[in-house]
Amino acid sequence: MQNAQLWRALGRNTLISILLFGVLFCLLWLAEVLFPNVTLLKWDDAAWVVGIPASVIGVAYILTIRDPQNYTGFFAGIIMSILLGVQFILQGSLDSTFLYFFVFIPFQLMSIYKWSRSKSDGGASFEPKFLDMPRLWLSIAICIAITAGDYLLQTYAFQHNSLTDNIAIKLFNGLLISSSFLANYWLIYRKNDAWIYWALYSVAGIGLFILVGNIFSIVLFSFFLVINSMAGVAWIRNTKPENMGWVRGLNTK
């Protein structure tokens, strides 16, 4: 019975996501009608079209795991990752393709295992927590290292230019990868810090698509920022004082 309720919540959140994107697409279509020189909906772009169901399912995924007891959202997360992997193949972004197929999907499978097992055990020992201070700094160092590694990869393997070319675009792209990697990883262990990285992911996406002039993706990542922030606040409200980790450490100084 309890599992049935979790699956119903996933179905309900999927319907909410479809409704939200329906409203969003209506507004974008209206903007195109009012401003004929502006193109927001690119139905002739295969990668863009694949990204639509990926985004709809992705929002359902986030809305569902906003409840730190509902592991069913990760099944939607796996479908989202497959679709995004296909999208990045079509866009020729091999670093992102590798991450979605060979890192994020395994992470989400691990999350299903950990969350569902804690549910069957009562979940008392598996509550939302912040990282402790040493792991916070380790996480930040990993984020910087992945961003720097992706910067070098883009420079020498993909774009074949110099380190001083397209600096902002490379940095934002690297932050997209590093922040989404850490967000997916810390979700496995129900760490509130995952939502900080999801927020960073959204901000990096907004910055990247401002630079490349993709208005639709700017709107989409702004939408993600709101959804991710709402989920993060919901988790923090479910966090006990003894689980505040590095946040509690800041308050004692």
* pLDDT recorded at residue 120: 62
In the chain, the percentage of residues whose pLDDT exceeds 90 is: 75
C-alpha distance from residue 213 to each of 38, 155, 170, 220, 223 (Å): 11, 21, 15, 13, 17
Do 21 and 95 fall within a single domain?
yes
Write out pLDDT tens, residues 202-212: 999 999 999 99
CB environment 34-55: b (16+ within 10 A), e (fewer): eeeeeebeeeeeeebebbbebb
Q: 203 is in which domain, residue-wise?
A: 130-253
d(CA 61, CA 55): 10
Number of domains the chain contains: 2
Do 102 and 177 fall within a single domain?
no
* pLDDT recorded at residue 187: 95
Do 135 and 253 fall within a single domain?
yes
Do 109 and 23 fall within a single domain?
yes
pTM to 2 decimal places: 0.90
Write out pLDDT tens, residues 187-243: 999 999 999 999 999 999 999 999 998 888 898 899 999 999 999 999 999 999 999
Do 179 and 88 fall within a single domain?
no
Do 166 and 65 fall within a single domain?
no
Q: Which two tokens stand for residue 60?
A: 């359902």
| Residue ending a domain, choose from 79, 105, 126 | 126
d(CA 51, CA 4): 29
* pLDDT recorded at residue 119: 63
d(CA 30, CA 105): 36
Do 84 and 183 fall within a single domain?
no
d(CA 29, CA 62): 25
SS3 content of the chain, % helix, strand, coil (to 5): 80, 0, 20
| Residue ending a domain, choose from 80, 110, 126 | 126
* pLDDT recorded at residue 230: 94
- Report the range out of 43-47, 144-148, 160-164 with the highest average pLDDT: 144-148
d(CA 175, CA 144): 8
Do 19 and 42 fall within a single domain?
yes
Do 173 and 214 fall within a single domain?
yes
| Residue ending a domain, choose from 102, 126, 150 | 126
- 8 A C-beta contact, residue 63 and residue 16: yes
Look up tokens 């009562």; give the residue. 122
